[in-house]
Every structure is written in C-alpha cells, then in structure tokens.
Structure 1
Amino acid sequence: MTNANPTGAPVTLDKSGSGPAPHYSFLERLYTGTGGFPIVSRRKLFYSLAAIFLLISLLSIAVRGFTLGIDFTGGSRIQIPATDQMTTQQVEDVYAEALGHEPVSVQRVGSGAAATIQLRSETLEAEEVGQVTTALVEAFQPKDSSGAVSRDAISIADISETWGGQITQKALIALLVFVVLTMIYIAIRFERDMSIAAIVSLFFNLIVTAGIYSLVGFEVTPAAVIGLLTILGFALYDNVVVFDKVEENTRGVLHLHKRTYAEQANLAANQTLMRSISTTVIGILPIIGMLVIAVWLLGVGTLKDLALVQMVGMIVGAYSSVFFAVPVLVSIKERWGPVAAHTKKVHDKRADVGVRAPVTAGASAARGPRRGEASAPRPGARPSGKRHKGRH
C-alpha cells in the first residue's frame, strides 16, 4: 500500500496508517480542538498584532488623553426632559447663546418618556445657572411630573474639583491595589514562567482597553473604572483556564521525544479556543441587554459606562489569553532552561530520522519491490534470464 494518490500527491494517513485521515471543516476543528490552528508556530504574527495594538493605544493615550467625566474633573451637569422634536444641537445652541460659550458635552440618554438631554459644562455661577435655565424653559417648554411647564423640570448638579480629585485618587489606588494583589495571586498560583506571561497579558489588556477608550472618546466615569477592574478579573480567569490546560498537556513532556513543549501548548490553546469564544459570547449577551434596556429604554447613563468597558475588556481579554499569553509563555520557556534543550533534542531527532528514512509520497517506491512483485528493468540492463556461462 502506498501513501500517494494517483496524481502522486501525498495523502495524510490516520493514526493507524490504514486509511486517509478524516477531513474536518473549520468549525469542526474549532469545536473539537484538534490542534489544527498554528497559534504558537505563528506567534511572530500575533506579536506583531499585539505591538500594533499597544502602539496605537499608547499614542492615543499620550496625544488624545481621556474624556474624563464630571466626577473626575468637576463642573455642572444640566439635565432637561427630551421630546421627539428636540435635538442635541438645538440644546447646545440655546446654551451657547445664553452664556456665550459651548458646553463640554451634550448627549441624549434614554428613549420615550424617560428620554433626557444632558449637558456637561464647567462649573457655573448662580447667575449663569439662572440664565441658562431661563433660556432652556423659553426654548423647549419642559414639563414636570404634573404636566405643567416648570423650571423644576430642569435639574442642575454641581461637583467641585476637589471632589473630582478625590475620586481620581481613589480610583487609581483601587486599580493599583488590584494589580498588585493579582500579581501576588498569579505568582502563587502558577510556576514562574506562567506567572510572567500572565502578568504581561494582564498589562496588555489594561493598556489596550484604556487605549480603545481614549481612541473612541468614551467618557471615563467611576463606573468605567469599576468595569475595568471587573474585566481584568475576567481576563485573569481566562488565563487561569488556558494555563491549566497547558500545564495538563505539558506534564511529563520533557521525558518524551515525540512532541515539543510548544506543540503541546498549541494543542492546549486550540482545546480552549472554543471555550473562550463561548464564554465571551455568553458574557457579552447580558451586557448587550444592559445597554438596550438600561440605557436606551430607562436612560441610566451610569450603566452605559459600566457596560461599554466590560464589553471592550472581555473581547480584548479573550483574545489575549489564547493568542498572546500562550505564545509569550512558550517564548519564555524556549529561551532558556530544560524546555529549550528538549525542543532542540526533538528537532535534531526529527532531522536525523528525516535524513535516514524520509516519509514522502515516493517512499514506498524507494524501498524497492515487495515480495512477489517484479522490479522494473533498469535502463541499459540485459533482459532477465539465466546467466551466460563462459569465459570472461
């Protein structure tokens, strides 16, 4: 039996060698985790993508900065009931005409009877508050809960810069404490190289998520900071699951000489890939529900900030746990130590076997005829028959 088809092209055999290996589609390989996706072997590509993401994020943070909410910067927030005819541009024009300068931001929140238009501006004096309130009442005739046109339908809240500074300081402290505790847990939970890879992946998630917020211009609020801490925990959980599988697949691999640490880690990444996708999709579904119901229908702006950062962070975390953390771990392992020596030994053994007994489409022909088969005559050879006896 030969391992070539009639055209001479090689055919991949199954493990027993008795027949061709079954062909799996993309979705089947994804679902079964057969290790068919070269994640680790193509890690230079994923490193390049990660470098691009990090560069864009850092440049955006350095150049554009963040759109800090009023809770961080201080200022005045004006909220007026919205009607179907009102637009944010109309409200902005009335504000600018009344005070002589434009607000920091104007946005529509909610829908239907719960819809409102919120303006955020620098801290307004009492006289300025009266001017803008009068202008908004004359322009849009807002109605209170009883249905009467009233100035009370417009709510104005002031937040001092001191309060904003305290909120910023507490948010940074909370973020720092979380990162430190996470690093301690990772160092205890995993062996050294896995800890380094997980921490690198954690900072990758943090920088890219913050960079997307800066690039798109999402407003950073205390709810967004809370959401950021939440998705960092989710990303850490995803790393734990993937690294557990890597640890299981690579247990005892240094005592064998058939597969390398990188190949076993790649198999683990493939086996957890579908799980990571499923977990992320299931996690995003309630977030989408939060955005639709809480934000568009009920007009709860705080939940929007929480939902946005969670959605962005979960997608980034799922990507990094498989396509960044695992390749980083393999690169660290193969840089020094017993894994590096074992990988070289496996590759050398394969090279030696390949030289002595290459497995190719024509290997069976190179081995010569099987018993009972006639060999083809060589060019220029005499026809087969009895050997002529006589003097030479």
Structure 2
Amino acid sequence: MSTEQKNAQKPRSVWSKLYRGENDFQFIPKRRRWYLFSAVLIAACIAVMLVKGFVMGIDFAGGNQYNVPDTGQATLTEVEAAAAGAGVEIASGQMAGSGEDQSFIIRTAVTDLDTSQEARQAMADEVGVGSDQISVSEVSATWGAAVSQQALIALVVFLILITAFIWLRFERRMAVAALGALGHDLLLTAGIFSLIGFEVTPSTMVGMLTILAYSLYDTVVVFDKVQENTSNLLQSRRQTFAEGVNDAVNMTLMRSLNTSLIGALPVGALLFIGVGMLGVGTLKDLALVLFVGIITGTYSSVFLAAPWVVDMAERSPVYKKHNQKVANKRAGKGDDDETARPKTADRSDEVELEVLDPEPATAGAASRSGGGGGGGPRPGARPSGSGSRQRRKKRR
C-alpha cells in the first residue's frame, strides 16, 4: 500500500478537518443555545450601563488637562494625589511618551482659575519643576457634544449604505441579520467598556466605527458562502436550507478564526503589554474597543447572523415545503406531487399500446404457429405486411 493510500485511510484530526473546512459543528441546529447565551450577555451589559454608566473623557464632559513632565521624582498616583489635595476633581490620569519626553496626563473636571493654578503649583512641587513647565489646556463640553453629533451622523450614514449594499448584493434577510449582529456587537462592546471603566474619548468613537466595519466584513464572508451553497437548493431534495447554511458556516470557520487571530494579536499586545505591563495608556480606550469588537464580531457572524437568516427563511412557505419534501424523501415516503402522477401516466400509456397496436403480438403468434390454424389473424383485423406480400406474389 502506497503512502498516499495510507494517509487517505488514516482518520483526520479535528484540527485537520477544521483547516480543510470539513468539520461538521452543529452551529445551526443548536442555535437556541447561542440565542440564550447572547441574551444573557446583552442583559448583563445593559444592566451595567444603567447602573455604572460611562466615564466620559474631557473631550465630552469638558474640563482641564495638565501635561506634567516626568522627572522620576514622583509616580502617577502621587501626582494625582497632589492635584486632588489642591481641591480639583481628578477625572483620569495616564502616562504618555517615553524616555526624556515621558509625561503625566492629568485630566480634571471644570474648575475656576484660582483652583486650577493651585493644582498646577502642587503638581509642579511634587515632580520638582516650575509651574510654567506644566501646560494647561481647557476643553469645553460643547466641543464634545459636536464630536458626538458628528459621530452619530457618520454611524447612521454607514448603516444605511451597508444595509443597501447587503440588500442588493444578497437579500433582505441577510441585511436584517447583519444589522442585528452589528447592534449586538455595539451593545456588548459598550457594556464591557462601562464595566472596566475606561474613558470615552474620540478614539473610542473611531474604534466603534472600526469594529462595525470588521464585523460586517466577517458577516459578508459567511453570507457569500451561504448564498453559494443554497443557490440551487430548491432544485434538489438533498438537504434543507438550515443544513446548507450550517455547511457554509463550517467551510468559512477557519477563515473567520484566522482573520480574528491576525487582528486580535497586535491589538491584544497593545492592550495587555502596552497598557497593563508598561503603563502606556495613551491608546488604551482604542485598544479595548478594537480587541472586544474583533472577538464579538466573529462570534456574531458565526453564532447569530447565519442562524437568524435560517429562522427568517424557514418562515417562508417555499422553504417549508422544501423541508417537508426532504423529510419525506429521507423517510422513504416519496413526494405526492412528483411520484403519484408519473405512475398513473405510465399505466395509461401501456393500455393505449395494447388497444391501438395489437399487430406485433398477432404476427408473432402467427409466425410461431406456422401461419395457420388458431394462430391466424382475428376477424376484422387489418392484414399484416407479410400477408399482403404473399397475395401480391399469387397475382403475378
């Protein structure tokens, strides 16, 4: 036996089947479980947002931002304590830059001029520099409101364009399922953001739009394979619509996992190593949104979007009838519309042949009996071709 034959007979592992798209995970048949799991997560996220709320950054809430040089004499916690001792409310604090350019970014609520100067002097004394070396910038809450309005307009336009594209490229059911998956991703990401307590900044808004595009990309990949698998489904009795969608999800599963890993690894490095270990929190809000959005986008496209398409399609009378025909075929019952009628037509054809064309059987009997006796033609029957030829010979 050759090596290729041995490899063909050797059972493949789960990872090998996953890589080749030959696995048969039951995503669609077990979709009720995913619905329940997602409902629990969404309910928990909504509860967190209602109870805990969000930490709005200075760009949205307004306030003062102090850029304090890091001289190595004080930590971030000590600088924040010095500012709080001057009577200001600390909104957030983080480290930015590296080496000689490293500094502390302290954000506070809106304060009057005297309190702001006292906080500035207190932080300067803590790090050992002059107060003139600490820059202060004020941000009005109206600027944050304008940013929020522009972000909301961009989100609405984005959703309208994407819905129209999916509706025209695929079908209405897939457009509705894609929008539902996007809403799921937004709620889940917002809930985790509220739970962790990171500031909501313009970078957060940019990250939200980015994960929407990523989630849609993964969903469109799955839908494209679904459309390919189910394009000629109604012309056969091989599988139901749900089974065709389940095969499509399994075929694209490895692609979805690879895309998620490639996107999540650098973002995870920025979030866990840059923010968690090195303490560089300049982009922690953007990193968190992207990391959570990549994971939820893959989850929603596989476990929610495709099953929702199945649920909407199976409400259609066309697919209900198709599924019933598939079930009848597997049960050996056949299909009343396609099996009973041909059998009746065949029997009528046989009867017609016996009545209108009895000559071949008569001629055959005559030849077997030697052309005489009881094997002759019946009274009133049309003479056969052989009898006509014999009479013509006698006349000659």
1:83 deviates by 4.7
Question: Residue type of the partner of 1:270?
Answer: N
115, 122, 138: which one aligns with 1:135: 122
Aligned to 1:319: 299
**C-alpha separation in 2, matches of 1:96 and 1:342:** 70
Aligned to 2:26: 38
**C-alpha separation in 1, matches of 2:41 and 2:313:** 24
Asked if the contact 1:257–1:345 (Cα under 8 Å) also holds between the matched residues in 2, the reply is yes
Q: Which structure 2 residues correspond to residues 210-229 of structure 1 after superposition, within 5 A? A: 210-229=190-209
Question: Residue type of the partner of 1:46?
Answer: W
- Structure 1 position 329 matched with structure 2 position 316: no
- Structure 1 position 79 matched with structure 2 position 79: no
Once the two structures are overlaid, the 10-residue window that deviates more, 289-298 or 243-252, is 289-298
**C-alpha separation in 1, matches of 2:48 and 2:169:** 34
Deviations 1:180-207 (A, max 9, x none): 2222222222212112211211211122
Asked if the contact 2:14–2:23 (Cα under 8 Å) also holds between the matched residues in 1, the reply is no
Secondary structure, aligned partner of 1:119 = strand
Question: Residue type of the partner of 1:207?
Answer: L
**C-alpha separation in 2, matches of 1:261 and 1:46:** 19
**C-alpha separation in 2, matches of 1:49 and 1:293:** 30
Asked if the contact 2:226–2:249 (Cα under 8 Å) also holds between the matched residues in 1, the reply is yes
Over alpha carbons, which structure has the higher Rg? 2
Asked if the contact 1:112–1:297 (Cα under 8 Å) also holds between the matched residues in 2, the reply is no
Distance 1:207 1:298, change over 3 A: closer
Secondary structure, aligned partner of 1:104 = strand
Q: Which structure 2 residues correspond to residues 11-26 of structure 1 after superposition, within 5 A? A: 23-26=11-14
304, 311, 314: which one aligns with 2:284: 304
Aligned to 1:107: 94
Aligned to 1:3: none
Question: Residue type of the partner of 2:21?
Answer: G
Question: Residue type of the partner of 2:78?
Answer: Q
Aligned to 2:110: 123
Once the two structures are overlaid, the 10-residue window that deviates more, 111-120 or 197-206, is 111-120
Distance 1:298 1:204, change over 3 A: closer
1:230 deviates by 1.4
Q: Which one has a larger percent helix, Structure 1 or Structure 2?
A: 2
Question: Residue type of the partner of 1:249?
Answer: N
Asked if the contact 1:115–1:299 (Cα under 8 Å) also holds between the matched residues in 2, the reply is no
Distance 1:50 1:292, change over 3 A: closer
User: Normalised by the size of structure 2, how large is the TM-score?
Assistant: 0.76
Aligned to 1:189: 169
Asked if the contact 2:56–2:200 (Cα under 8 Å) also holds between the matched residues in 1, the reply is yes
**C-alpha separation in 2, matches of 1:32 and 1:251:** 22
Question: Aligned pair count?
Answer: 326
Secondary structure, aligned partner of 2:137 = strand
**C-alpha separation in 1, matches of 2:191 and 2:243:** 33
**C-alpha separation in 2, matches of 1:331 and 1:107:** 48
**C-alpha separation in 1, matches of 2:97 and 2:120:** 21
Aligned to 1:171: 151
Question: Residue type of the partner of 2:107?
Answer: R
**C-alpha separation in 1, matches of 2:41 and 2:264:** 22
Aligned to 1:284: 264
**C-alpha separation in 1, matches of 2:315 and 2:76:** 57
Deviations 1:88-130 (A, max 9, x none): 332222112222x541223334554343222221112221122
1:288 deviates by 4.3
Question: Residue type of the partner of 1:151?
Answer: S
Aligned to 1:57: 45
**C-alpha separation in 2, matches of 1:30 and 1:91:** 52
Aligned to 1:257: 237
**C-alpha separation in 1, matches of 2:313 and 2:50:** 34
Once the two structures are overlaid, the 10-residue window that deviates more, 85-94 or 320-329, is 85-94
CA RMSD of aligned residues (A): 2.5
Q: Which structure 2 residues correspond to residues 83-102 of structure 1 after superposition, within 5 A? A: 83-84=71-72, 86-99=74-87, 101-102=88-89
Once the two structures are overlaid, the 10-residue window that deviates more, 265-274 or 111-120, is 111-120
Once the two structures are overlaid, the 10-residue window that deviates more, 328-337 or 87-96, is 87-96
Secondary structure, aligned partner of 1:71 = helix
Deviations 1:255-296 (A, max 9, x none): 211211111111110111110111111122343465589878
**C-alpha separation in 2, matches of 1:139 and 1:198:** 53
- Higher normalized contact order (CA 8 Å, seq sep 6+, divided by chain length): 1
Aligned to 2:380: none
Deviations 1:327-347 (A, max 9, x none): 111111112231222112212
Asked if the contact 1:110–1:297 (Cα under 8 Å) also holds between the matched residues in 2, the reply is no
1:85 deviates by 5.2
Asked if the contact 1:76–1:156 (Cα under 8 Å) also holds between the matched residues in 2, the reply is yes
Secondary structure, aligned partner of 2:238 = coil
Question: Residue type of the partner of 1:51?
Answer: A
**C-alpha separation in 1, matches of 2:243 and 2:9:** 20
- Structure 1 position 29 matched with structure 2 position 17: yes
Question: Residue type of the partner of 2:115?
Answer: E
Secondary structure, aligned partner of 1:124 = coil
Question: Residue type of the partner of 2:86?
Answer: A
Aligned to 1:153: 133
Distance 1:337 1:85, change over 3 A: farther
